Amino acid sequence: MTGLKTDPARFEVVKNALFAAAEEMKIVLAKTAYSPLLKVAGDYSCGIFDAAGDMVAQGPDLPIHLGSMPDAVRAVVRAFADVAPGDVFIHNDPYDGGSHLPDVNVVMPAFHDGHLLGYGCVRAHWPDIGSAQPGSYGAVTEIYGEGLRLPPIRLYRDGKPDPAIEAIIFANVRTPSERLGDLRAQVAANLRGTQRMAELAAKYGVATFLQIMREVLDYSETMMRAALRALPDGEASFTDIFDGDGIIGLGETTDVPFTVKLRIVKKGDTILADFTGSDPAVAGPMNAPLTVTASGVFCALKMIADPGSLIPPNSGCWRPVTVTAPAGSVVNAQHPSPVVYANHEISHRVADMVMAALYGISPRTVMAGSQGTSAVITFGGLDYRTGDRFVSYESVKGGFGARPTKDGINAVASTVSNMSNTPIEIIEMSFPLRVEEYALVPDSGGAGRYRGGLGARRVWRVLENQAQASVCCERSVTPPFGLDGGLTGGPAVTTLIPPNGIARTLNSKGGFLAPAGSLVVLEAPGSGGYGDPKSRDPAALSEDLLDGYVTPAAARRDYGFAAT
């Protein structure tokens, strides 16, 4: 390892200890959180940061947070020059390093012998952060309607919470006891991370520990530059059409699609991702802060340049990457544009767009379009079993795109996401809902030499009381793309079937009332295929038919295959 001032063996030990500390934070959070979204689905990220706010180590969490978590910590660094042991800070402002309001950042400084070492940060999605819509996923036109927005504020001093700050927070959410449990879990996870940092500083000395943190960033930068040099130089573009922003005009039944344009310039050990030409900000919450857009770029580039996951994911990785977009565009949102959907929907789609653009430069290193959405569904109301309010937030899994040498993967979180499927038993135990079906959607994987992964279908029955629900699921208009002759994957479909049995297809985004006894059906998108379907191995296609992944009709139509 050239360029190290530290003994290489010691560098490796401390580097791996930092990543182990971030992983420990994840375990602490999962074991102490209250909401199923955190303790089971895993919608959070944990990281170790230096004193300037650069991410040094991220746990095995969500790539969606790669670009924006450092900005969240830097917001605290800018706001507070007087940090002290026992401090804890909280904020969720998308226009000051956050992503969207439900993603709440809890930041804790680490000290040893009076020296500031850096910070721990846990970003966790709270199932409710206020607003008129349970789950805080309404189709509103200003960020003021999206819930409680917190600038960087000091939540703890001398290790004790400020009761006035907590009172403000919990007065603005529907399930305060669950939110308190999740918040305490975030603090506990940070405490573990900062304790590990202090232990390392005590063992190796403050100066050596800080030097190694800087070298970890340089190490990742060096490795990323080497990985980028291995890719061909070139310039390529891709334009994608998004379903819309959730705002339905008078007399209309669906919202209006919008366009995002991407130009990639790969030169030597650098990459430029330029979104010039993308549409201006939209009225609804599909506007992404630039750090959210950058997270989609970073995630795709990490997958392309480092398929073996050898490069530690941190701020050093992204020094060779420049992401630009016109201020006020849909991919570089400005206050007070609403943003709640864009955090995952734009970053998902941007990751796919980077894959599609780089297909023109390095086709054997990319994959076809994945689900392109987090396929979010929320339910809220009164739980007839307890008389208390409830809020359920789920992300239904879709297809992972086909690769140049492999089929896609069925019903998993893809690209920017890394969440688990929420078990049916957990949903039914926690909320007044019954899951009546959970299955793969046949033919939703795009045909190809390598087939795209299938999306999942989930069907909920609302029990006893009506629920106020919302959906946010891209790819209902433009399905996931195929590459190299592969076909598109299946689109998303959301349906409400009230007790009278008259089904209604819902818009891809927005709130709706689900009467007691009604069914809500969400089919998450599949993913695109890779290569000419006619060249698929007949034995593999026969297995698809046996497994029910492909129906006989689709085998004839898309593959020219007739089962015998």
Q: What is the pLDDT of residues 504-515, one digit of tens each?
A: 999 999 999 999
Give the pLDDT band of residue 59 (cuts 50, 70, 90): confident
Specify whether the CB–CB gap between 517 and 409 falls below 8 A: no
CA-to-CA distance for 379 and 157, rounded, in angstroms?
36
Check residue 372 and give left, alpha or beta (phi > 0: left; psi -120 to 50: alpha): left
Give, to the nearest 10 degrees, the angle between helix 176-204 and helix 163-170.
140
- The letter for the amino acid at 130 is G
Residue range 177-192: average pLDDT?
98
Residue range 254-266: average pLDDT?
95
∠ CA(266), CA(268), CA(270), 5° rounding? 60
CA-to-CA distance for 541 and 546, rounded, in angstroms?
9
Specify whether the CB–CB gap between 90 and 104 falls below 8 A: yes
287-319 pLDDT, tens digit each = 999 999 999 999 999 999 999 999 999 999 999
Specify whether the CB–CB gap between 48 and 197 falls below 8 A: yes
Q: Is the pLDDT at 235 greater than 90, yes or no?
A: yes
For 325, phi and psi rounded to 5 degrees? -160, 145
Domains of the chain, residue spans: 8-219, 367-564
- The letter for the amino acid at 168 is I
Specify whether the CB–CB gap between 147 and 133 falls below 8 A: no
Of 417, 238, 412, residue with least CA distance to 343? 417
340-374 pLDDT, tens digit each = 999 999 999 999 999 999 999 999 999 999 999 99
Please report the pLDDT score of residue 564 as a whole number. 55
What ranges in 143-175 are assigned the alpha helix state H? 163-170
% of the chain exceeding 70 in pLDDT = 99
Q: Is the pLDDT at 1 greater than 90, yes or no?
A: no
**C-beta neighbour count of 437 within 10 angstroms:** 13
**C-beta neighbour count of 108 within 10 angstroms:** 24
Residue range 525-546: average pLDDT?
97
Number of continuous H segments (helices) and E segments (strands) in the chain: 11, 22
Give the pLDDT band of residue 3 (cuts 50, 70, 90): low
17-27 pLDDT, tens digit each = 999 999 999 99
∠ CA(304), CA(310), CA(312), 5° rounding? 100
Check residue 423 and give left, alpha or beta (phi > 0: left; psi -120 to 50: alpha): beta
% of the chain exceeding 90 in pLDDT = 95
Residues facing 234 on adjacent strands: 266
Unique residue bearing structure tokens 């992983």: 23
Of 53, 56, 66, 54, residue with least CA distance to 300? 66
Give the pLDDT band of residue 562 (cuts 50, 70, 90): confident
- The letter for the amino acid at 474 is E
Please report the pLDDT score of residue 151 as a whole number. 97
Please report the pLDDT score of residue 2 as a whole number. 52
Handedness of CA 423, 426, 429, 431 (dihedral sign): negative
Specify whether the CB–CB gap between 461 and 434 falls below 8 A: yes
Unique residue bearing structure tokens 């049916």: 424
